[in-house]
Amino acid sequence: MSEYYIYQDQKRCIGCRACELHCKTENDVRVGPSFGKIINVGPTVRGDVPRINFIFMPCFHCENPWCVSACPTGAMQKRSKDGIVFVDPSLCIGCKACITACPWGAPQWDKDTGKAIKCDYCKDRVDQGLEPACVTGCTTDALKWISPAKSSQVRRERFAKAITEEIPFP
Amino acid sequence: MPEGTKKSVYSVCSMCTVRCPIEVEVENGAVRHIWGNPHLLGGHYLCPRGAAGKVFQNDTERLQHPMIRDGERGSGKWKKASWDEALDYIASNLKKIISKHGGESVVLGDRGGPFTDMQKAFIKALGSPNYFNHHGACSNSVHNAHNAMTGHRRNTVAYDWKNCDYCILYGRNILESIGTKEAKDFIDALERGMKFTHIDVRWNYTAAKADRFLMLKPGTDYALNLALINVIVKEKLYDAAFVERWVTGMKELVAFVEPYTPEWAEKETGIPAKQIVTIAHELAEAKPAVILYQGWMTAWTENDYYFRRSIYMLYALLGGYEAKGGLLFNKNETHTGRKPLRKLVDGVPKVNKKRFDGVGWKYKHLSPDYGLAQMLPYAILKEDPYPVKAFINYRFDPLSAFPDPEAFKKGLMKLDLLVTVDVNYSHTGWISDVILPEATYLERTDPAIAKGGPKPALWLRRQAVEPQYDSKPKWWIFKQLAERLGIGEYFPYNSAEELIEWQLKDIGFQLSDFDAKGYIELAKDQILWDRSDGLKFKTPSGKIEFVSSMLQDSGLPSFPPYESPKSPPKGHYRLLTGKIAIHTQGTTLNNLYLNELQPENTLWINTNEAKKLGIKTGDTVEVSSNGCVQTVKASVTDFIHPDAVYTLHGFGREIPQQTRAYKRGMRDNTLMGGLLTVAVGGNCPITDCFVRVKKAS
């Protein structure tokens, strides 16, 4: 896994898809492919209210990326300095092995160039000390650019707060 | 701009009418990315439509050069014109019309919002009182209800989300019909622990985050509010000191709501009486830190005006004005001890003629700030109260926004001159004589605006890139027309910069003061008025008038007996419309990226009703009313009231130049035959539309 992680706070996410738009405009992605995508799950009634989850699906930048192993030309690469997985378009021959290999559907197909393209966490921005466009532009600040360890801390803090709200002080 | 250069320009978005503050990243003279302005938003947050401004800017399917029609009106035949040709054409026709029929025979329709000074000045300088905007199909009843009761428009108060403890949204889909700051503030408030009840005829993403979601019978929000008032009054849960100090007509209200008990409202709304009592108690407990959102959608009916009044009455009862967590009055430049920003309209002599739409004489309780666009076709056809011969249509599209476009069009076709100024093709533009392409919000600098608020400020929309096509900024277009018409003196500038320096003169700032953050702060901290003595209600009594003197002047009752909304005739459904975060009604449907995410609308229909009609999700259905038929795909759901069907507004575009949106989905307003009327609040009763639905053969 890369040293970065995009944490999506479901409580804050409103499913507006600003993340998708900021991604497309930042990377000038054509109509069709999308590097990051919101998938709606629901609505399902919980309690008295129908709830819905908006699941953000960028590339997860795996520790042992299936797409990298599957790539016959070395076009799909993992950056040694921070683990970001990206395509070198000059080496891509458009065989789609990465698209077949990835269980999460992250690699995308650019029919105009006949090559694979994918989320690279906006590595040019990351190299400038900035965050990926999806995180920076998120309407309600629901996406956070943090380390996996920090994400665990956020979830623990939220859980701790939730249970103490229900347990009255003695 | 030389290759490889980068800059950042603070400006104001125009992808929708929220007009969020933005930071435009420009590289090699082209838009690189559009973000929210972090100085005003606390981060680079910006909604999807705002982000999609970049592909709008580069779109070849927007207006590119002036066009004069080259065939019958509405034939879709155009010839490309130079700016001189187009402006000369308009000016010579306007001169003829004005010399024959007077200045009042020219009307100007506007989208509305804060950037209206120039349009208002222009029409006034022509000697016409006839400015109006789109609010007749939008928030007229809200504005006018608040205005008659308190002397304030809807938007002269702001919501204090930061401190609100309890909120009711009546069909206000705040998390889908979004403004960047409001959506984020709302989510922040929920995270802080604000409780929230959502009232609607259908579930949506906002309802999904509610503590309580109540699906009521369409059009009965007013009945719910009457019962809430009934409980609050009966149990004396109101803020007695506030009411005593600031309210007149309390006695009349108490008598009026007596029969409207929670049990009565249960029958009317379908919401259990017990729940209504609980909500009343929750409101009382949280008061005055409550927000009851005043608009939009669900009860947009004939009696909508009285529903909106009931919301403001609840605020008054709960002491919610100028209260932490409630409504805060917006303060302006003068409240900071300064002179106001100069306005062009103030330099133009007053026009002493009555309006074409009856506002101010026939309808004394309605505001000329918004007018009644829906009266335009009737005034043209009947020449009543006088001939209307020319319509200048600035960034406005009544044929998309208003019910019954055929009826509207019938009037427009009789005009001597119809001019549209816009950035996009519109249905109204399509039947115009001349279309003038305005430079986009990224290509133009607009006059500075005063942004009222608890902390007032000055904002500036500033040019980020050079115009892509042969388009011109508003300040240039109106100045050019004004000079040709002999009213150039009222537009005392030669460039946007000169105009802004002129605007800023009295208030004591200069253009460069916008450079650092994109806005000029007028107050360090919130300006708050004293709740016991400092509130400014601009009514004759200086109080909140439950019995409204303004309504009395119009011969209208303040408390007419409640009337149930019309029920759909057998085999019919009430057609309701709404919005999502991806689109701004018709104006973004053809945007490359937004169209990709949502290319067409669907018709929501209740599962049981769909079953009766043999309709499944994805089926093509025919929706019909008054002889008009639209086809669209169905979305079957448990989460809509069985009396209603619902669709996203604005689809089914009929302009071939917009290839991505052309004939995609259904055009809802065509089904609203007979609704181009004036309800009590000056709104069209858009949700009083009943349609049949059947599976397409």
For residue A60, the distance in angstroms to the closest alpha carbon of chain B comes to: 22
DSSP notation for chain A: --S-EEEE-TTT-----HHHHHHHHHHTPPSS--SSEEEEEEEEEETTEEEEEEEEE-----SS-HHHHH-SSS-EEE-TTT--EEE-TTT-----HHHHH-TT---EEETTTTEEE---TTHHHHHTT---HHHHH-TTS-EEEE-HHHHHHHHHHHHHHHHHHHS---
For the stretch A46-94, pLDDT in tens is 888 999 999 999 999 999 999 999 999 999 999 999 999 999 999 999 9
DSSP notation for B88-105: HHHHHHHHHHHHHH-GGG
User: Could you tell me which chain B residue has the CA closest to the CA of A16?
Assistant: B581
d(CA B438, CA B472): 5
User: Could you tell me which chain A residue has the CA closest to the CA of B579?
Assistant: A16
B660 in contact with chain A, both atoms CB, cutoff 8 A: no
Q: Which residues pair with B376 in a beta bridge?
A: none
Q: What pLDDT is stored for residue B381 in this prediction?
A: 98
Task: Choose, out of B16, B18, B33, the residue to mutate when testing the contact with A (most A CBs < 10 Å).
Answer: B33
d(CA B148, CA B309): 9
d(CA B536, CA B156): 11
Q: Which of B175, B208, B211 sits opposite A50 (nearest CB)?
A: B208
**3-state SS, one letter per residue, for B274-311:** HHHHHHHHHHHHHCCCEEEECCCCCCCCCCHHHHHHHH
Interface list for chain A against chain B, based on CB atoms closer than 8 Å: 11-12, 14-18, 20-22, 24-26, 31-32, 42-43, 48-52, 133, 136-142
Chain B neighbors of A11, CB-CB under 8 A: 187, 190-191
Residues in chain B: 697
d(CA A70, CA A97): 6
d(CA A56, CA B383): 57
Chain A neighbors of B178, CB-CB under 8 A: 14, 16, 139
If 0-12 CB within 10 Å is exposed, 13-18 middle and 19+ buried, where does residue B541 land?
middle
Q: Which of B184, B203, B592 sits opposite A140 (nearest CB)?
A: B184
B176 in contact with chain A, both atoms CB, cutoff 8 A: yes
Chain A neighbors of B199, CB-CB under 8 A: none
Chain B neighbors of A140, CB-CB under 8 A: 45, 183-184, 187
| CA neighbours closer than 13 Å in the CB half-sphere of residue B629 | 9
Q: What pLDDT is stored for residue A125 in this prediction?
A: 96
Query: pLDDT class for A159, splitting at 50, 70, 90?
Result: confident
B21 near B459, Cβ under 8 Å?
A: yes
- How many interchain CB pairs under 8 A, A with B? 108
Query: pLDDT class for B299, splitting at 50, 70, 90?
Result: low
Instruction: Note the ipTM here.
Output: 0.97
Q: What are the tokens at A41? A: 């799950």
Better-predicted residue by pLDDT, B4 or B280: B280
Three-state DSSP class for residue B204: coil
Q: What pLDDT is stored for residue B600 in this prediction?
A: 97
Q: What pLDDT is stored for residue B303 in this prediction?
A: 84
d(CA B280, CA B29): 57
Chain A neighbors of B209, CB-CB under 8 A: 14
Q: What pLDDT is stored for residue B1 in this prediction?
A: 44
**3-state SS, one letter per residue, for B118-154:** HHHHHHHHCCCCCEEEHHHHCCHHHHHHHHHHHCCCH
Task: Kindly determine whether residue B184 and residue A16, on different chains, have CB atoms separated by under 8 Å.
Answer: no
Q: Which residue has the tokens 């300088």?
A: B125
B48 in contact with chain A, both atoms CB, cutoff 8 A: yes
d(CA B593, CA B589): 9
For the stretch B348-367, pLDDT in tens is 999 999 999 999 999 999 99
Say whether the peptide bond before residue B349 is cis (omega within 30 degrees of 0). Answer: no
Q: Which residues pair with B573 in a beta bridge?
A: B691
**3-state SS, one letter per residue, for B358-389:** CECCCECCCCCCCCCHHHHHHHHHHCCCCCCC
CA distance between the termini of chain B: 58
Q: Which of A26, A31, A139 sits opposite B178 (nearest CB)?
A: A139
Chain B neighbors of A141, CB-CB under 8 A: 43, 45, 184, 187
Q: What pLDDT is stored for residue A169 in this prediction?
A: 57
d(CA B454, CA B5): 39
Task: Kindly determine whether residue B207 and residue A49, on different chains, have CB atoms separated by under 8 Å.
Answer: yes
For residue B661, the distance in angstroms to the closest alpha carbon of chain A comes to: 14
For residue B566, the distance in angstroms to the closest alpha carbon of chain A comes to: 28
Chain B neighbors of A12, CB-CB under 8 A: 187, 191
Q: Which of B54, B184, B592 sits opposite A139 (nearest CB)?
A: B184
Q: What pLDDT is stored for residue A168 in this prediction?
A: 59
Task: Kindly determine whether residue B47 and residue A18, on different chains, have CB atoms separated by under 8 Å.
Answer: yes
| CA neighbours closer than 13 Å in the CB half-sphere of residue B205 | 24
User: Could you tell me which chain B residue has the CA closest to the CA of A15?
Assistant: B205
Please report, to the nearest 10 degrees, the dihedral formed by the alpha carbons of residues B418, B424, B427, B432 taken in order: 20
Q: Collect all residues with Cβ–Cβ distance below 8 Å to A77 and sequence separation of at least 6.
A: A68, A85, A86, A87, A88
d(CA A146, CA A2): 11
pLDDT at B2 over 60: no
Query: pLDDT class for B22, splitting at 50, 70, 90?
Result: very high
Q: DSSP character for B593?
A: H
Task: Kindly determine whether residue A48 and residue B36, on different chains, have CB atoms separated by under 8 Å.
Answer: no
Three-state DSSP class for residue B40: helix
Task: Choose, out of B593, B595, B636, the residue to mutate when testing the contact with A (most A CBs < 10 Å).
Answer: B593
Chain A neighbors of B211, CB-CB under 8 A: 49
For residue B179, the distance in angstroms to the closest alpha carbon of chain A comes to: 9
B680 near B556, Cβ under 8 Å?
A: yes
B449 in contact with chain A, both atoms CB, cutoff 8 A: no
Give the β-pairing of B573-578 and B602-606.
unpaired
DSSP notation for B483-549: HHTT-GGGS--SSHHHHHHHHHTTTT--GGGGTTTSEEES-SS-----TTTT----STTSSEESS-H
d(CA B53, CA B57): 6
pLDDT at B52 over 90: yes
For residue B36, the distance in angstroms to the closest alpha carbon of chain A comes to: 7
d(CA B144, CA B551): 10
Interval A17-33 mean pLDDT? 98
- C-alpha distances in Å from residue B434, one per residue of B78, B87, B129: 9, 9, 23
B179 in contact with chain A, both atoms CB, cutoff 8 A: no
Q: What pLDDT is stored for residue B296 in this prediction?
A: 72
d(CA B158, CA B65): 40
Q: Which of A17, A42, A139 sits opposite B183 (nearest CB)?
A: A139
Q: What is the mean pLDDT of chain B?
A: 96
Task: Choose, out of A12, A22, A37, A138, the residue to mutate when testing the contact with B (most B CBs < 10 Å).
Answer: A22
User: Could you tell me which chain A residue has the CA closest to the CA of B208?
Assistant: A51
Q: What pLDDT is stored for residue B297 in this prediction?
A: 64
For residue B389, the distance in angstroms to the closest alpha carbon of chain A comes to: 43
For residue B464, the distance in angstroms to the closest alpha carbon of chain A comes to: 17
Task: Kindly determine whether residue A52 and residue B176, on different chains, have CB atoms separated by under 8 Å.
Answer: no
User: Could you tell me which chain A residue has the CA closest to the CA of B592?
Assistant: A31
Put simply, whether the predicted model's pTM sits higher than 0.95 gets the answer yes
Query: pLDDT class for B61, splitting at 50, 70, 90?
Result: very high
User: Could you tell me which chain B residue has the CA closest to the CA of A137?
Assistant: B45
For the stretch B188-206, pLDDT in tens is 999 999 999 999 999 999 9
